Structure formats: C-alpha cells, structure tokens
Amino acid sequence: MTKKIKHFIDLDSFSKKDFRVLLDKCHTRKNSKIRKGNAELDLDMCAEDKILAMIFEKPSTRTRFSFETAMLQLGGKTITASSNDMQLNRGETIEDTAKVLSRYVDLVMLRTNEHSTLIDFASESSIPVINGLSDRSHPCQVLTDLMTFEEKRGKINGKIVTWFGPGNNMTHSWIHAASLLDFELRICAPKKFSADKKIIKKALNEGAKIIDNISPEKAARHSNCIVTDTWFSMGDREDASKREMLKSYQVNNKLIKLAEDDVMFLHCLPAHRGEEVTAEVIDGPNSHVWDEAENRVHAQKGIIDWCLSD
C-alpha cells in the first residue's frame, strides 16, 4: 500500500479533530519528557536520519533557524538554499525541481512569493511539502501563535482574537484557524486593504465566527488576544498613502487598555516599532512575542513529526 503524503500547506485542509491533534502535539513537544531541555535532543528522535530541504525565495530569520534547530534536535539534518542559487533561477521548472528533490531528501519546506509555486511543487512531490510562508498564508506561524496563546491562557475556544492592520498571509491563516477552533476572530483593517473576501466567505460558510469591518475601538473591547503584523509584507511596495491610512490601526496602549486586562499581544516578527505597534506595547507587560518566537521551534517539531508519521 502506498503511504499518503502529508503536506502542510494550509490549515484549511485539516479537519477540526486532526488539527486539535496537531496543536496538542506541539504542546507536548514543548512540555513533556519527549524533550529534555533547550539545545538538547528530543528523546524520541522522530526525524533521525531524515533530511529536510529548505528553499527560500524571500528572506527569513525565525523560519530558517527554528526549522534547522527543530530538525537537529529531532535527530535530522537540513539543507538550505536560496532559490536564486538554484537552477530555478535559470528557468528549471518547479515541478522538475520537486521530482529531483524527492529523490534526495525526506521533506521540503518552501518560502515562496506565489502560493501557486507551493501547489505546483506539491503536485509533483513524493515527499511532504511544508509552507514556510507564501503570499497567501503563513500556517506555521499561526499554529505557533495558537500554541502560545493556549500555553498561557488555556484552550482558545470561546476567546476573542483581534487582528489589526492590512489583510495579509497571516490574516488568512488566522481565518483558516477560526474555522477549526471555536474562537471569535475580529478583523480590523481598512476596507481598501481587507483580507481576501473569498477566504472569509468560505470560513463563514464553515461556521467560523468572524467579524470583519469593525472600528479599532470596538474591535479592541474585551479582546483576549491582539495580533498585528508589518504594514508592508515582503514583496509589497511601500507607499506613503497606505502608511497614512493605517495610522489608526496601530496597536498602542489606548487600544490595549480597551481589551481584557490580561490581553495577550502577539506579532509574528519582524516588527516595526512606531508603525504597526508602539514600543510600549511590544516591549510591555502584555507582549508575549519572545515566547512566541521561541515556540516556532516547538511548533515546527510538531509539524515535522506530523508530516513524517503515518
């Protein structure tokens, strides 16, 4: 019998039950005796002798180093390349690249400009493919964010998560998550820069509790978690009028004070103090961004374990 290839491309391919299992796997990786401590190997070595290839079309700090750390601690190895240094840069197709890498390594992580590149790679890959960020989504990061919220506040079900800023890859993965876990997602973005309406509509049809088009003050009220991201994603053109329009969506102490006292501030990083968030918020008591960054390692382990398991 041929083994089913388990790609981790978007959260919306998961059932609620399977997603809960994955999220719990991430918690277990961090908390249980599976792991001995920082910089030590995981006892089960679930990626022993496995190789993860990572291809980057865009820069990365957290995704690259957390995947490398995770693989090393799970007993595996990594090979990392920028797509510029590959024959991809000279016109070799992504499908041919997938066929070749499938003969060399055990799983592959791609960070792509276009989401379709991931899909095209996966269509010819006989090994699991992990989305390390595309223009459409960033599922590894949102899995980490859910893990960070839950380890400090308990299950996210029934809570209010509020997104501030333009709709982007992070917003889309949060929308996917809202279909899988029973929390309310408020999206506070200017109409001109709203999240993809098709992704919102699909989630609403699946029963997700999503409130779109809400004013910043209303959105912040009673929030349990406030999330933002850069106003200009990698590949976006920086423009002064967009920056001006986004000023009232900045996460500052005025908004934090409207939320629950223990509201958790999350940001996938890199951050731009004075733009999407003030220094007093990101460096203040409600911010959990450093634990969030650490949790990328634990969540990647959960993903790698999930991809490699039957």
Residue ranges that bind ligand CP, judged by CB under 6 A: 60-63, 133, 141, 268-269
Establish whether 172 is a catalytic residue.
no
Per CB under 6 A, the list member of 94, 143, 160, 170 interacting with ligand NVA is: 170
**Residue of minimal Cβ distance to ligand NVA:** 233
Quick check: 265 and 281 in contact, CB under 8 A? Answer: yes
Minimum CB separation of residue 65 from ligand CP in Å reads 8
> Which listed option, ligand NVA, ligand CP, none, makes contact with residue 61 (CB within 5 to 8 Å by class)?
ligand CP
Torsion of CA 117, 190, 265, 30, to 10 degrees: -20
Minimum CB separation of residue 289 from ligand NVA in Å reads 12
Residues 3-32 that bind ligand NVA (CB under 6 A): none
Establish whether 229 is a catalytic residue.
yes
- How does DSSP assign 83-130, residue by residue? GGGSGGGGT--HHHHHHHHHHH-SEEEEE-SSHHHHHHHHHH-SS-EE
Establish whether 296 is a catalytic residue.
yes
Per CB under 6 A, the list member of 69, 83, 148, 230 interacting with ligand NVA is: 230
Is the CB of 106 or the CB of 292 nearer to ligand CP? 292
Q: Does 134 bind ligand NVA (CB under 6 A)?
A: no
Number of Cβ within 10 Å of residue 83's Cβ equals: 19
Beta partners for 209? 184
Establish whether 20 is a catalytic residue.
no
Q: Of 35, 62, 138, 176, which is the active-site residue? A: 138
Q: How far apart are CA 165 and CA 148, in angstroms?
A: 21
Quick check: 142 and 170 in contact, CB under 8 A? Answer: yes
> Which listed option, ligand CP, ligand NVA, none, makes contact with residue 169 (CB within 5 to 8 Å by class)?
ligand NVA
Minimum CB separation of residue 235 from ligand CP in Å reads 12
**Residue of minimal Cβ distance to ligand CP:** 63
Cα angle for residues 181, 37, 77 (degrees, 5° grid) = 80
Place of tokens 């079900």: 157
Quick check: 81 and 55 in contact, CB under 8 A? Answer: yes
Is the CB of 32 or the CB of 61 nearer to ligand NVA? 61
Is the CB of 102 or the CB of 141 nearer to ligand CP? 141
Instruction: DSSP letter for 306, please.
Output: H
Task: Pick left, alpha or beta for residue 270 (phi over 0 → left; psi -120 to 50 → alpha; otherwise beta).
Answer: beta
Minimum CB separation of residue 174 from ligand CP in Å reads 14
Minimum CB separation of residue 62 from ligand CP in Å reads 4
Q: Which of 242, 283, 240 is nearest to 265 (CA)?
A: 283
Q: Does 144 bind ligand NVA (CB under 6 A)?
A: no
Q: Of 7, 12, 140, 141, which is the active-site residue? A: 141
Backbone angles phi and psi of 252, in degrees to 5: -130, 180
Q: Does 196 bind ligand NVA (CB under 6 A)?
A: no
Q: Of 26, 225, 268, 307, which is the active-site residue? A: 268
Minimum CB separation of residue 141 from ligand CP in Å reads 5
Establish whether 96 is a catalytic residue.
no
Angle between helices 16-31 and 289-308 in degrees, nearest 10: 120
Sign of CA dihedral 112, 114, 120, 123: positive
Quick check: 275 and 296 in contact, CB under 8 A? Answer: no
Q: Which residues are catalytic?
A: 111, 138, 141, 229, 268, 296
Q: Which residues bind ligand NVA (CB under 6 A)?
A: 133, 138, 168-170, 229-230, 233-234, 268
